[in-house]
Chains A and B, each alone.
Chain A
Amino acid sequence: MLREFTCIMCPQGCDIQAELEGNKVISISGNKCPRGKEYVTQEIKNPMRNIATSVLVDGGELPLASVRLTKPVPKDCIFPVMAEIKKVRLAAPVQEGDVVISHVLGLDSDVIATKTVGVR
């Protein structure tokens, strides 16, 4: 089966054509680098995505600290992961890189702060 992909690994966004047989990539073209093949291989098995959002900070100079995942998670875990992150309330100070939730939902990915928020 021939399938087309837009690679999201980098801003180039290559248009990739891949010949697939079940979960196997038979041939691939259009990708300018090897990450394109990695992307397609992952995409047909189990698409993975990263997300970014914010958590509330009590007593901080800012009301929110932004967070992201250290590794992408399966696409269908995005909303459950969002719900987990929503439950969190941090107390200032927050340091960039602080682990906010380790192994969120038991997945191989941590939620980390991406912004330092000092005490108000």
Chain B
Amino acid sequence: MRQTDAVIIGGGPAGLAAAIELRRKGIEDILILEREKKPGGILRQCIHDGFGLTRFGETLSGPEYASRFVRRAQELDIPCMTDTTVLEVTPDRRVYASSSEGLLEIQAKAVILAMGCRERTRGAISIPGTRPAGVYTAGVAQAYINLKNKMVGKRVVILGSGDIGMIMARRMTLEGAKVLGVFEIQPYPSGLPRNVEQCLNDYQIPLYLSHSVTEIRGRDRLESVVVSQVDEHLSPIPGTEKEYACDTLILSVGLIPENELTWMAGAKEDLGTRGPVVDEHYQTTVPGIFAAGNVLHVHDLVDFVSLEAEALADGAARFIQEGALPACPLTVKGDSLVGQLIPGRCSGQEDVTISFRVRRPLKNCSIEVCQGEKVIRRVRKPKALPAEMIQISLKAEELNPNEDLEVKVVC
């Protein structure tokens, strides 16, 4: 059986950044396994610009951002097997994959999970009506248009105001389609304000908040959708139905970490992020198995994915070199306004970066990181949105190694 120091599952931004940083830390024997024909991950289809502002101080398209990491990995001679799908990971870090060479079995000292996320289809499933052709998730429509040169439709309704949906509203408008509107069930947009501005307002595409698609009509191809206003419990209000004739419905109702392999390996799930529970080293509850990027929690900015994967490489390199990492006995919890909190555990003896999102839009609030009665950090936020991941970095000196941490939002 093949033996390696580190197997990295997924050759997207997270996997590539982890590989490059591991090599920089002196880990020689690394193998990236990627399901697609080329590395780069989902960014290969995200052709719009706006990537890399934090990382490189310039604004790049998704493919350009990804190719910087692909090239770096190639320069460092890090092997990446493409067309290779990982089928199973065991708790003792054996990795089974199928490739053009046949079935692979690899024993790794550390396994790095970087499989990214997939799109939610919930919402679509529960909408009454027929199931004609013409209903796509935003990412699938993006792949058709940007990778395969297939235009998906001409009169388009978008359900959900996620960033990918808004970006597709603009993209389809540029390609000559008429986007009738973006309908969002919540009373606030779920994507970033800049995308409302530059993807919708710039092209006079209306955004209807507190609205949802309540019926899908059509025989073979989609013919129309019915849209209703919803009340404060998100239930459709009778009498507000409006029919829109359209040939395409795009769903942009969120992303969910892709973790089948993670659960097979026996790692514990975090019900907030829907990814694995990790400690400050990005180690899951299974020693030697690490996770970063969208497989861990959904990111809106790839720059943060790269940073997170590099931080992971720190811990993974230590694990490979020393055989274990310091214990992380302290829990990190959030109050009811805090969601998607990472990490779930920490040592209290090393620097730690906490990432989370607020659960609803808030104005003029303070975020407090507490240990018992003591507030160890307070950050003022004039505006906080669920669309934005918030990060707070704490220094070892600020922490009490004997007390659990809690993140509180005070309004």
Q: Is the CB of B64 within 8 A of A6?
A: no
A-B CB contact pairs (8 Å), 22 listed: A6-B194, A6-B196, A10-B53, A11-B194, A11-B388, A12-B388, A15-B383, A50-B49, A53-B174, A63-B148, A64-B148, A64-B149, A66-B63, A66-B146, A68-B47, A68-B49, A82-B174, A96-B63, A96-B67, A114-B47, A114-B60, A116-B67
CB-based closest 8 A-B pairs: A13-B193, A66-B47, A13-B194, A114-B61, A6-B197, A115-B63, A8-B194, A52-B48
Task: Name the distance in Å between B89's Cβ and chain A's nearest Cβ.
Answer: 31
Which range contains the number of B residues in contact with the other chain?
Answer: 20 to 34
Question: A70 vs B197: C-alpha distance in the bound complex, in angstroms?
Answer: 21
Partner of A52 from B47, B197, B301 at Cβ < 8 Å = B47
Partner of B192 from A13, A50, A68 at Cβ < 8 Å = A13
Question: A67 vs B49: C-alpha distance in the bound complex, in angstroms?
Answer: 10
Q: Is the CB of A64 within 8 A of B147?
A: yes
A62 within 8 A of B: yes
- Give the chain A neighbours of B148 by CB distance below 8 A: 63-64
Question: A70 vs B61: C-alpha distance in the bound complex, in angstroms?
Answer: 11
- Other A-B contacts than A11-B192, A52-B61, A96-B64, 19 sampled, CB-CB below 8 A, are A6-B194, A6-B196, A8-B197, A10-B194, A11-B50, A11-B194, A49-B198, A49-B202, A54-B47, A54-B149, A62-B147, A63-B148, A64-B146, A66-B61, A78-B174, A82-B174, A114-B60, A115-B67, A116-B67
A 11-49 binary contact with B (CB < 8 Å = 1; else 0): 111010000000000000000000000000000000001
B88 within 8 A of A: no
Partner of A51 from B147, B174, B193, B194 at Cβ < 8 Å = B174
From 97 to 120 in chain A, residues with beta carbon under 8 angstroms from any chain B beta carbon are 114-116
Q: Is the CB of A11 within 8 A of B47?
A: no
Question: A114 vs B202: C-alpha distance in the bound complex, in angstroms?
Answer: 24
A7 within 8 A of B: yes
Q: Is the CB of B53 within 8 A of A11?
A: yes
Question: A51 vs B175: C-alpha distance in the bound complex, in angstroms?
Answer: 12
B 365-394 binary contact with A (CB < 8 Å = 1; else 0): 000000000000000000100001000000
Q: Is the CB of A13 within 8 A of B67?
A: no
B300 within 8 A of A: yes
A 69-97 binary contact with B (CB < 8 Å = 1; else 0): 00000010011001000000000000010
- Give the chain B neighbours of A75 by CB distance below 8 A: 202
From 287 to 308 in chain B, residues with beta carbon under 8 angstroms from any chain A beta carbon are 300-301
From 226 to 283 in chain B, residues with beta carbon under 8 angstroms from any chain A beta carbon are none
Question: A52 vs B199: C-alpha distance in the bound complex, in angstroms?
Answer: 12
- Give the chain B neighbours of A54 by CB distance below 8 A: 47, 145-146, 149
Question: A53 vs B175: C-alpha distance in the bound complex, in angstroms?
Answer: 9
Considering the complex, give the chain A residue whose CB is closest to the CB of B300.
A11
Question: A79 vs B198: C-alpha distance in the bound complex, in angstroms?
Answer: 15
Task: Name the distance in Å between B43's Cβ and chain A's nearest Cβ.
Answer: 10
- Give the chain A neighbours of B174 by CB distance below 8 A: 51, 53, 78-79, 82
Q: Is the CB of B64 within 8 A of A114?
A: yes
Question: A25 vs B192: C-alpha distance in the bound complex, in angstroms?
Answer: 26
Question: A10 vs B198: C-alpha distance in the bound complex, in angstroms?
Answer: 11
Question: A12 vs B44: C-alpha distance in the bound complex, in angstroms?
Answer: 24
Task: Name the distance in Å between A93's Cβ and chain B's nearest Cβ.
Answer: 15
- Give the chain A neighbours of B53 by CB distance below 8 A: 10-11
Q: Is the CB of B193 within 8 A of A52?
A: no
- Give the chain B neighbours of A51 by CB distance below 8 A: 174
Q: Is the CB of B146 within 8 A of A114?
A: no
- Give the chain A neighbours of B192 by CB distance below 8 A: 11, 13
Given known contacts A13-B192, A66-B146, A8 and B198 CB-to-CB distance under 8 angstroms: yes
